[in-house]
Amino acid sequence: MKEFWTTLASVMGVWAFFQSILHTVFPPELRFASLKLFHRFFNWFSAYCYYDITEIDGVNTNELYNAVQLYLSSSASITGNRLSLTRGLNSSAITFGLSNNDRLMDTYNGVTVLWEHIVTQRQAQTFSWRPLPEEKRGFTLRVKKKDKAVILGSYLDFVMEKAGEIRRNNQDRLLYTNSRGGSLDSRGHPWESVPFKHPSTFDTLAMDPAKKGEIMADLKDFANGEAFYQRTGRAWKRGYLLYGPPGTGKSSMIAAMANYLGYDIYDLELTEVHTNSELRKLLMKTSSKSIIVIEDIDCSINLTNRKKNSGSGTNSGARNNNNHNNTSNFDASVPGSGNGGEDGGNSITLSGLLNFTDGLWSCCGSERIFLFTTNHIEKLDPALLRSGRMDMHIFMSYCSFPALKILLKNYLGYNKGDLEKDLEEEFKQVMDKAEMTPADISEVLIKNRRDKERAVWELLEALKLRADKKSKEMMINATDLEVEEQEKRALENPKENGELQENCDKRGGDDDLENADQINDEKIN
Ligand SMILES: Nc1ncnc2c1ncn2[C@@H]1O[C@H](COP(=O)(O)OP(=O)(O)OP(=O)(O)O)[C@@H](O)[C@H]1O
């Protein structure tokens, strides 16, 4: 036993001796370097290279990590026994991803890569302005060295793009509005958002199918037109002006466009914006793939008469004096011209608005749609209507017969051929004369939606009544116009006036005689 302890002591002595020599000859720095050297040596002969994509990059969230996670969640080849399920904020879909230390092969342009999800426990809480998660997560991408160029060149961009697409498809649209009085929220953002769940789509929208098809094709061309805009040197944006009477579906069209493209909506309340620079800042804070809407542009603010109203100093003053006088004496067609783009520093101008939609500032970011709506296109400044400003003017008309068929299908389940021929003819005859909006028609259909036949009859009656009223109104208007014309002509030509008066007097005299005869007849009877 004694021998054993003596041997152990000498072995430990020798170990301590060698360790001190190792420390002297190979200090820790050198050991680390030699380890690295070993790694390099190993890598030199390895056919692969590895890329780490950590969830937190310093203290910021690594967008690439989130994108990879989303991208891999769409992969049909995920077959593990244990998958992680997530449902993001404002998302109505559940996505699944790789669990701890799972691996997945992916192929891109004939190149195969391996993704590994690595989760480790975070050792100690490093100092950070925000608490870091307890787990350290990341992806390791293994790529063959010969494929490095392809992967770094386009694969990661492809992953980012695909992830954006998945996010848009899974996530609810957001509806933003600019905060009251230009105030900023807790994140310093001038826009407030709520999930956008408007159910309007191009299928539910009642309008002429040919016109609808044209708009949808235009939107798709725009959304897929990155290469075209790049090639032609144009900013990747498009402007639409929706005009027509109230209740013809302008707001429904905006929602349908957003749902069709999967874009968010920024509903810009112009009366809450006080300066052109505020307007610019708002634009800078909008994301790409969005629709920026200014509803009722004709009454949002008096843009045309800004210079005249500058004395009043505030937008509200301008709003009260909303007489749409088109005699502004600065050239609104030239952004930033005339009054210098700012009006006393506290009000926005038409040139400011045009800069917002048209000028250099409209190009920060990409893929943006500007959408103006108005019930009174005739009140808009011609500068806003000039070609090139708004790429497409869309007239939202009263309900036509083809549009009615869509409403009958959506509300009552009527399909092609379900409506009797005679009824169809009757509808066709009154539709255009009645000038009823889709909103009015929807009301009638909703009221009777449990009794299809009654709904159709009531609608037909309502349309006939309206058509009758309209034709009477037209006759009265025509007579009024004729009298007005006669009076005008009489004023212009006094001689004719005398004859006219004479005729009237004569007619008046004849009428008197007739009346007298009538009274005599009555007396006799
Ligand atoms: N073209 C349409 N297709 C389907 N439904 C419509 C259409 N137009 C109007 N409606 C119905 O009428 C309601 C009001 O329509 P909407 O608000 O879109 O009209 P608007 O033209 O924007 O009116 P306003 O000018 O008063 O804002 C909608 O909720 C929708 O149910």
**Residue to probe by mutation, ligand 1, list 197, 204, 248, most atoms within 8 Å of CB:** 248
Find out whether the beta carbon of 248 lies less than 6 Å from any atom of ligand 1. Answer: yes
pLDDT at residue 380, as a whole number:
86
Tokens 């793009």 map to which residue? Answer: 161
Distance 224 CA to ligand 1 centre (A): 28
According to the per-residue pLDDT averaged within each range, which of 5-14, 38-47, 72-81, 462-471 is highest?
Answer: 462-471
Kindly tell me if the per-residue pLDDT of 351 is higher than 80. no
pLDDT at residue 60, as a whole number:
67
pLDDT at residue 336, as a whole number:
38
pLDDT at residue 181, as a whole number:
60
On whether the 174-395 domain is CATH 3.40.50.300, my answer is: yes
Kindly tell me if the per-residue pLDDT of 505 is higher than 60. no
The tokens for 28 are 């820790």
Residue having the nearest C-alpha atom to atom 30 of ligand 1: 439
Kindly tell me if the per-residue pLDDT of 55 is higher than 80. yes
Kindly tell me if the per-residue pLDDT of 293 is higher than 90. yes
pLDDT at residue 387, as a whole number:
67
Residue having the nearest C-alpha atom to atom 17 of ligand 1: 251
Q: Which candidate, 478, 481, 504, 501, places its Cα nearest to that of 491?
A: 501
Distance 215 CA to ligand 1 centre (A): 17
Q: Which candidate, 278, 489, 257, 457, places its Cα nearest to that of 370?
A: 257
Q: What is the pLDDT of residues 476-485, one digit of tens each?
A: 887 888 888 8
User: How confident is residue 282, by pLDDT bands cut at 50, 70 and 90?
Assistant: confident
Q: Which helix (H) or strand (E) holds 77?
A: none
User: How confident is residue 501, by pLDDT bands cut at 50, 70 and 90?
Assistant: low
Average pLDDT over residues 208-218: 96
- Report the distance separating Cα 503 and Cα 190, nearest Å: 71
Q: Which candidate, 97, 92, 66, 67, places its Cα nearest to that of 170?
A: 92
pLDDT at residue 149, as a whole number:
87
Kindly tell me if the per-residue pLDDT of 487 is higher than 50. yes
Closest approach atom of ligand 1 to CA 254? 18
Distance 392 CA to ligand 1 centre (A): 20
Percent of the chain scored above 90 by pLDDT?
26
For the ranges 39-48, 180-189, 221-230, the lowest mean pLDDT is seen at 180-189
**Contact (Cβ atoms closer than 8 angstroms) between residue 369 and residue 253:** no
User: How confident is residue 207, by pLDDT bands cut at 50, 70 and 90?
Assistant: very high
- Report the distance separating Cα 221 and Cα 228, nearest Å: 9
**Contact (Cβ atoms closer than 8 angstroms) between residue 83 and residue 74:** no
User: What's the mean pLDDT when you consider all of the chain?
Assistant: 77
pLDDT at residue 324, as a whole number:
36
Kindly tell me if the per-residue pLDDT of 431 is higher than 70. yes
pLDDT at residue 514, as a whole number:
52
Q: CA gyration radius for the chain?
A: 37
pLDDT at residue 488, as a whole number:
82
pLDDT at residue 81, as a whole number:
58
Average pLDDT over residues 81-110: 72
**Residue to probe by mutation, ligand 1, list 251, 379, 406, most atoms within 8 Å of CB:** 251
Find out whether the beta carbon of 397 lies less than 6 Å from any atom of ligand 1. Answer: no
Average pLDDT over residues 452-456: 91
Break the chain into its structural domains and give their ranges.
24-170, 174-395, 401-487, 493-524
pLDDT at residue 8, as a whole number:
87
Which residues, including other chains, have CB under 8 Å from residue 175's CB and lie 6 or more apart? 193, 194, 195, 196, 264, 265, 267
Q: What is the pLDDT of residues 239-268, one digit of tens each?
A: 999 999 999 999 999 999 999 998 999 999
Residue 208's φ and ψ, nearest 5 degrees, are -55, 125
Find out whether the beta carbon of 438 lies less than 6 Å from any atom of ligand 1. Answer: yes
Distance 291 CA to ligand 1 centre (A): 18
Find out whether the beta carbon of 200 lies less than 6 Å from any atom of ligand 1. Answer: no
Average pLDDT over residues 93-115: 81
Residue having the nearest C-alpha atom to atom 10 of ligand 1: 439
Q: What b/e sequence results for 169-180 when a residue is b if at least 16 CB atoms lie within 10 Å of its CB, and e otherwise?
A: ebbbbbbbbbbe
- Look at 458 and 22; give whichever has higher pLDDT: 458
Closest approach atom of ligand 1 to CA 205? 3
pLDDT at residue 382, as a whole number:
83
User: How confident is residue 201, by pLDDT bands cut at 50, 70 and 90?
Assistant: very high
Distance 440 CA to ligand 1 centre (A): 9
Find out whether the beta carbon of 252 lies less than 6 Å from any atom of ligand 1. Answer: yes
**Residue to probe by mutation, ligand 1, list 293, 295, 442, most atoms within 8 Å of CB:** 442
pLDDT at residue 334, as a whole number:
36
